[in-house]
Structure 1
C-alpha cells in the first residue's frame, strides 16, 4: 500500500517523463529516417516527371478496396506500372500533338453500353440522342457539384483511354506485313532439309573437367548488360522454424477430445455436490454442447457427400441419426461428428443457357422476341440431343459466369437462384430440360444431378503446440540467431540439422520469399540502409520463427553473381567443353571425324526452320540454319550447337511447292505483330526512360 501511495503522489512527474520520452523517440525517428524532407512528397519519377506520394498512396488504397484479396504490395506494383505507363504515353501524345476532340469523345460515349442503352439519352426511335445527353451533363454541372466533379474525373478517364486507343491504332496501321513476309513464313514452315551429322554432346565431358571462375561469369554479364539487366536486389537465406505441435501434443489433444465421448463427473460449486455431465452422444442440447467444446461453432446447414472430408466421407455420410464418429483429423483439427439428420435432394447441379435481350444486360442488342425465339430453338436442340448441352451453352449463353463450364453451376442451394430458376431445378427430376424466364432473360435449363445431404454436429479442436513445445521451438530459433551472428550461417544450421533456403534476386517491392508468403517485413529489413551484408535477424509470426541472413546486396544494375550462375555458368562451361571436344573431332569429312571421335554418323530428315529439332538431341537452330545454307553435298566446319559440337553434310533442301497466294500466312503474321505492338511500345519506352523508384522508402 505504501508503494501504491508513492506512485499516486508522483503520477504527474511520471506522466511528464513518459511524454518527454515519447516526444524524443518520435523526433529521433523522424530525424533518423530523414523526415521533414522535401523528397518524401514523391514516390519516384519518370524522365524527370515526379509521381506524388500522396496521390500514389490514395490510388493504392483505392485499388485494394476495389480488388478483393489484393495485398498492399500487389496494389502498389499495379498502380506503379500504371503511373509509369501514363507518364510515358502522355509525353508521346504531346510530342505528336495527339488529342481527342469533342466529336471523338461523343463517339466514345455512344459506343459505351452504359450510355448507349440508357433510356434517358434515347430518342423516340430508340437511338442515342446527343442533345439529350448534353442537356443531362449541363444539368449536373448547374445543380449537382459533387456529381459534376465525378463526371469530370470519369470524362478524363474516357479521354485517356480513347487517346491511348488512337495511339495504338496509329502504330498498328504503320506495321506493314508484305506478301514477301507471308511467303517467307510459309517457306520457314514447309521447306525441309535432309542432312547427315556427327555430334559429340557436351555431356561427354564431366563438369569438373572445366573450371569457370566467378570473374569470368561477371565479365560475361558486363559484356551483355542489356541481356542481364536487373533492378537493385538482395540475396537472402533463411531457416524456418514452424510452430507445429509435437507427437506428444497430438496424443494429448486426442485424449482430450476422446473425453467428450463419455459422460464425466464435475463438482458443482453452488450445490456442493458432484454432477454427472452427459457426453456428446447423450447431450440434450447438441448446439450448446458443440459451442462449449469446439473451436468452430455449430453449423446447421446440410452438406452433400462430395463436400465431406474425403478420408472419412463414407463413414460420416452413412452414420445413423444420433450416432457419433471420431475422433478423426481434418485440416489440422481433431474432430467428433454426430449425425443430426438427412435430407434427399438438398442441393443440385444444373446447366443453363441464358438468352438475354436489350435493356437486361450491357452489350445485348437483340429484342425480347428474338431472345425468346432463339431460346426455344436451343431448347429443341437440347431436348433432341441432351449430350450437346454443354457445347450449346459455351457457344450461345450470355452468362459470362458459366460460359467456360458449359453453363454448369454445381452445389446449388435452395433459394440461391432467382425464383423461377430455383423452382425449375428443385421441382423437376434429374435429366429434365426446359425453359423459364427471369429478370435476366430466357433460360434453357437442364437438371444435371441432385444430391442427398446430411446435417452433422461437429466438435473441432485445433491441434496446436503446447506451451512447452512452443518454448522449445523458440529456444532453438534463438540459438541459431545468436550463434550465426558471428559464425558461418550454413555451418551452424547444418550442425543443428536445419535446412537453409536461398532467396536470390529479391526486389524491394517483393512481399514473399520462396516457400514463404507475406514476408514483407524481411524484405524491408534487407533493403534497410542500416542492414549490412552478413546481418542475421529473427522474425516471429503466427506460423513460427524465421532466422534470415542478408547474404548479399546487388546495386550494379545487373543480375547478381549467384543468379548469373544459373544461366551464364552453363554457357561458359559448354564453351570450354567445346574446345576440348573440337580437339577430338579431327578430319575433313564426317567419316573421318566419326572415326576420331567415336561418334556415329546419323541422319536428320525433313527438318524445318520453324521446328529446328534434331532427333534424340533437341532444338538446334544454328545447326539447322547452317544445313539450309550449305548447298547439296557440302560439308560444314565444326559447329558449336546448343547441346553438342556438330559437323554436318547437307544432302538436299526440299522446297515447298509455291502457293497461288500467301494471304493466310501474311494475315497470321500481321495479327501476331499488331497484337504484340502495344506491349512492345511500352517496353521500348520504359527501356529508354530514366525511371527512379523510391517506393521502398515509403514502406
Structure 2
C-alpha cells in the first residue's frame, strides 16, 4: 500500500517523464525520416523515389569522369537520366521485357573503346563476342578490381540493353504504306494555280487595336498545351567590374620596367645592401623568374608559330641573353628573355604507308605480301620523284594510314621521338626535300621531308595586371552603396547615375546555373527562388569579375507563359485576329475584282504552288490559303481567309496532277526512316509529359 501511495504521489512526474521519452522517440524518427523540412529524396517519378544519397553518389561519379563539369551540370545530367530510367523501366515491366547475354554484348559492341579494341576483333576486323567473353572470364582472376567495376555497372548495361531492345521493337511498329508514300509524292509534285486578293494586317497600325492582358491569357488557356511554362524568374543586374585603374596599370608597368635595371636590395641573410642586376644580366635566371613572376619558369622549347602572334617576330629574332618587353598578353605584363635556340626541334613530312599481311595492326582486308608492298613503295617513290606535286594525290589513293589519308599524307609539327625510330631518323637526319622508302613494323613508308622548325627556349616574367587594394576597396564601396540605395530609389535611375548598364536575365529556371553576362552563379538563382525574396528585392553578389547588383523583376509560377514572354509570342496573334475583323468589313464583294476595288488592292496570281511548300508569291508561307486553293475548282471563289500575313480571297485556276509513278518505294522508305528516327525522342517526351514528377533538386543544389 505504501508503494502504491508513493506512485500516486509521483504520478504527475511519471507522466511527464514518459511523455518526454515518447516525444524524443517521435522527434528522432521524424529527423531520421527526413521530417521538419528535411527531404530524404531528390524527387520522385510516378511515386518512385530517387534517394538523395544514391543520387549524390552518381553526381560525384559524373564529376570524376568529366573533368571541369560543375556540380549543377552533373546533377542536371544525372536527374535527366534517372527520370528517363524510371519511365522506361515501367514500360519494360509492362511489356515483360527481359534481356539475355547477346543483348548485353550488343551494347558493349557499340562502345568504341570495346568494339575497336584489336584484341576483340576477328579476322574480318569485326567485334568477336567469343573473344570478349574470354576476356571477361580471364579478368575475374587476372584483374579482380576491374572485374568488380564491370559487375558494379552490370545493371546500367542491362538497362541500356533493355532500352535498345524496347526502342527497336517500337521502331519495328512504325512504317509507312504505299498510300502514305503516294500522298507524300502528291504533296510535293501536285501544283495549284490561283488568283488572289490580299490585304495585309500591316495596313492597320498596331495602336489602332488594343489587346488586354486578359485577352492574351484567354487565348493561351484555349491553347494551354502550346503555351504552358515551368516556374521561372526574371532578373536584371548591373555589373561593377573590379578591374585595374589607369593608375594601377601605370604603377605595374613601372614596377616591371624596374626589373630591367640593376637595383640595390637589402639582404636579410647578410644584413647588407646588395646590388641585384637587371633581368638581362642575372646569372640564376630560374630563381629570378620564380621570384618576380606569377607564372613559373619553363624550360620547354617552342617554335615560332607557338609565340604570341603580335610579338612573334620581335621575340624570335632576339639574340641570346636579350630581353623584349614589357608587353601585354592575356592580361599579364611580360618580359621575355632569349635563353637558347636549337634547330631540328620539329619537322614536317608527308608519307604513303604501304602495309602488308602480317605487319603490325594491319587492315584485315590487306592481303599483299611483304615483297609486293616493297615493290609498290619503290614504284610510288619513282612517281613522286618524277612529279613531286603529285604526292598528295598519290597518298590519298594509295596510303594504308587512315590518319593522314585526308591530308595528302602530311604530318606537321612532328616532335623528335614521336614516330617509330626508322621514320623518326629519316625525317630528322635528312634535309628538306629528301625522299625515300623506309621500312617500319607497320610496313613501307614513302617519305618526303617537307619542313624543319627551329625552336627557342625563353624565360618570361609574367605579372598579372590586377587592381590595387585601393581600387578594390573603391569598387566594393560603390557596389555596396548601390545595393543599399536600391531599397529607396529606382534601380534604373541608380544605374544611369553611375554610368552602368542594366542587363536583363529572363526566364531563369529553378535548376539553372548559368546567367548570361555573369556566368556560373548558382547562388543568384537560389536567392531568386528563396521563400523570403520578393519582387523588387536587390542583392549584391561577389563574382570573379567584380560585383553583380541583382534585382528580382518578376516571379512566374508554373502554368501559362509569363505575360512579358506572352506579349512577344501571343500578342501578335491576338492582335492580328482583331485586325482581321476590321479588314473583313472592308473586303466587301463576291468577286476578287470587287474586293480589290473596294480595298484599293490588286488581283495577283500564283502558279506552281505545292502543299509541301505552301508559299504565296511576294507574301510568304500561307498553308491555310494554299490548302483552300487546292480544294477549289477552276473559276470558283473562296470566302475570306484569315492567313498568316493578312486576309485573302482566292479564285481557283486548277490543280495540275503529277503523273503517277510505277511505285512509291522511295517516298515510303523515306517516311518510314524519318518516323523511326523520331521514336525514342518522341516516346521520352510523351512519357515525361504524362508522368507525375516531383523535383526537389533545388533543395540540395
- Aligned partner of 1:366 among 364, 370, 379: 364
Give the corresponding residue for 1:413: 415
Give matches, 1:119-134, under 5 Å: 133=133
1:14 matched residue in structure 2: none
Structure 2 unmatched runs, 5+: 1-29
Match of 1:314 in 2: 313
**Across the two proteins, how many residue pairs are aligned to each other?**
661
Alpha-carbon distance in structure 2 between the residues aligned to 1:159 and 1:228: 38
The counterpart of 1:386, out of the listed 375, 386, 391, is 391
| Equivalent residue in structure 1 for 2:633, among 610, 631, 638 | 631
After superposition, give the CA deviation of every residue in 1:184-236 in whole Å (9 maximum; x if it has no partner). 22222233333444444444444333333323223322322211222222222
Partner of 2:477: 475
Which residue, 577, 580, 584 being the options, matches 1:578? Answer: 580
Q: Which moved more, 1:527-536 or 1:57-66?
A: 527-536
Q: Name stretches of at least 5 consecutive residues in structure 1 with no aligned partner.
A: 1-30
2:511 to 506, 509, 522: 509
CA distance in 2, matches of 1:181, 1:153: 47
C-alpha distance 130-595 of structure 1, shift in aligned 2 (>3 A): same
TM-score by length of 2: 0.81
- Tell me if the contact between 1:214 and 1:561 (Cα under 8 Å) persists in the aligned partners: yes
Distance 1:377 1:86 in 2: 55
The change in CA–CA distance for 1:129 and 1:231 in structure 2 (over 3 A counts) is closer
Cα pair 1:504 1:562 within 8 Å, conserved: no
- Quote the offset at 1:176 in angstroms: 1.5
1:586 CA displacement: 4.2
Closer, same or farther in 2 for the Cα pair 1:641/1:287, shift >3 Å? farther
Q: How does 1:549-698 map to 2 (within 5 A)?
A: 549-698=551-700
Return the alpha-carbon distance in structure 2 between the equivalents of residues 89 and 356 of structure 1: 49
Hey, what does 2:263 align to over in structure 1?
264
Rounded Cα–Cα distance in structure 2 between residues aligned with 1:430 and 1:196: 72
DSSP 3-state at the match of 1:638:
strand
- 8 A Cα contact 1:121 1:130, kept in partner: no
Shift of 1:398: 5.3
Aligned equivalents of 2:519 and 2:84: distance in 1?
28
- 1:48 is matched with 47
Q: Does structure 1 residue 253 correspond to structure 2 residue 252?
A: yes
Report the alpha carbon displacement of residue 146 of structure 1 after superposing the two structures with TM: 6.3
Q: CA deviation at 1:53?
A: 1.0
Quote the RMSD (CA, aligned, Å). 4.2
* Structure 1, 243-252 or 349-358: larger mean CA deviation: 349-358
Spell out, residue by residue over 1:620-675, the C-alpha distance to the aligned partner (whole angstroms, 9 max, x if none).
33333333333334443333333343334444433333322222221111111111
CA distance in 1, matches of 2:34, 2:419: 56
| Deviation (angstroms), 1:150 | 3.9
Asked if 1:98 is matched to 2:118, the reply is no
Partner Cα separation in structure 1 for residue 574 and residue 262 of structure 2: 74
Cα offset, 1:315, TM superposition: 2.9
CA distance in 1, matches of 2:34, 2:516: 33
Structure 1 counterpart SS, 2:501: coil
Q: 1:523 aligns with which of 507, 522, 525?
A: 525
What do the CA deviations read for 1:501-555 (whole angstroms, capped 9, x no partner)?
2122111211111122110111112222332332221111332111112222222
Q: Specify the SS of the correspondent of 2:507.
A: strand
Deviations 1:589-610 (A, max 9, x none): 4444444444444444433333
1:202, 1:578 within 8 Å by CA — same for their partners in 2?
A: yes
Residue 79 of structure 1 and its aligned partner are, at CA, apart by 1.1
Change beyond 3 A, Cα 1:457–1:540: same
**Partner of residue 331, structure 1:** 330
User: Does structure 2 retain, via aligned residues, the 8 Å contact 1:109–1:116?
Assistant: no
SS of alignment partner, residue 44 of structure 2:
strand
How many Å separate the matches in 2 of 1:347 and 1:131? 41
Query: CA contact under 8 A between 2:87 and 2:687: conserved in structure 1?
Result: yes
CA distance in 1, matches of 2:568, 2:611: 28
Which one is further off, 565-574 or 83-92? 565-574
Deviation at 1:139, TM superposition (A): 9.4
Taking structure 1 as reference, are residues 494 and 169 closer, same or farther at Cα in structure 2, changes over 3 Å only?
same
Q: Judging changes above 3 Å, is the alpha-carbon distance between structure 1 residues 397 and 73 closer, same or farther for their aligned structure 2 residues?
A: farther
Shift of residue 307, structure 1, vs aligned partner: 2.8
Residue of structure 2 in register with 1:183 after alignment: 182
Matched, 1:219 2:218: yes
- How far is 1:337 from its partner? 2.3
Q: CA deviation at 1:259?
A: 2.4
> Match of 1:304?
303
C-alpha separation between the residues in 2 aligned to 1:458 and 1:423?
A: 33
For residues 474-493 of structure 1, the aligned pairs below 5 Å read 474-493=476-495
CA spacing shift, 1:293–1:688, aligned 2, 3 Å = same
Asked whether the equivalents of residues 508 and 523 of structure 1 are also in contact (C-alpha less than 8 Å), the reply is: yes
Contact kept in structure 1, 2:373 and 2:443, CA below 8 Å: no
* C-alpha contact (below 8 Å) 1:375/1:443 kept by paired residues: no
- Tell me by how many angstroms 1:54 deviates: 0.9
